[in-house]
Amino acid sequence: MVTTTTTSLTPHSPLVLLNVKVRCGSCNLRELCLPMGLTELEMDRLDKIVRHRRRIARDTALYRMNDPFINLYAIRVGHFKTYQVNANGAHHISGFQMTGEILGMEAISANRHQCDAVALEDSEVCEIPFAELEGLLRDVPIMLRHFHRMMSREIAQDHTAMLQLGNLRAEQRFAAFLLNLSNCYKTRGYSATNFQLRMSREEIANFLGLTNETISRLLAQFKKTAWVKANNREIELLNLPALHALVEGK
């Protein structure tokens, strides 16, 4: 039987610490999080670092902007959104993250988190103390290269998102958003054409720099052209080539 205890690390987030033994080598997400070729000794060292999993309830913050940076978090189950709040109190969503992704890397340079990370559904993360991880990265070059690739991929994704927001028309932004989700689910072994939106239309609109009405109009338009089938948050992509052509401006 698994026992749980509530931790009070952050007053805004009633996280649940799972008293279970975490073993990265036996995790079904290891191909997303870890490089190939780690020795048994290196894997054992990693297991000693990644000691805890945490459950985060839906709409609960894993961390808040300006919280001290202590851990990275590998998403084991669930979905998150990251966002910043400006001086006027307005929220701007900077990204959506899902199983297999790492949260918290934006805090490495400043030693404080640069955004809020909130669960879109009941989720679970593996807690990775960064100070201990740094020691492992120094000793294991293959891990260091993998970590650099992950950081590079995150920077590239942020750059692509900025270009899309600045250069693409509304319908292209929405199509690109759906195709990106499709690719993410495909990479994780799920259907590339049938999935559930974990975020609301309002959250999608915020992320894409559009209005709620525009998202509803575009969804109706895509349904009318038989590119997409939608039932509440259930989405089926019926014509991937057409969506790709739209994004490419063809």
26-57 pLDDT tens trace:
665 655 566 666 777 777 777 788 878 899 99
Entry field: residues in the chain: 250
Distances (CA, A) of 75 to 29, 37, 53, 97, 175: 9, 22, 10, 8, 25
The domain limits of the chain are 4-147, 168-247
- 233 pLDDT band, cuts 50/70/90, is very high
- 146 pLDDT band, cuts 50/70/90, is confident
Handedness of CA 214, 218, 224, 229 (dihedral sign): negative
Instruction: Average the pLDDT over 150-172 and give the result.
Output: 77
The answer, yes or no, to whether residue 1 has pLDDT greater than 70, is no
- Residue 113 confidence (pLDDT): 96
- Residue 36 confidence (pLDDT): 63
| Residue 89 buriedness (CB in 10 A; 0-12 / 13-18 / 19+) | exposed
Query: Where does residue 183 fall: left (phi above 0), alpha (psi -120 to 50 degrees), or beta otherwise?
Result: alpha
- Residue 144 confidence (pLDDT): 83
- Residue 164 confidence (pLDDT): 66
Whether the full predicted model's pTM is greater than 0.95, yes or no, is: no
For residue 6, what are the contacts with CB-CB under 8 A and spacing of at least 6? 14, 15, 16, 17
CATH class of 168-247: mainly alpha
CATH class of 4-147: mainly beta
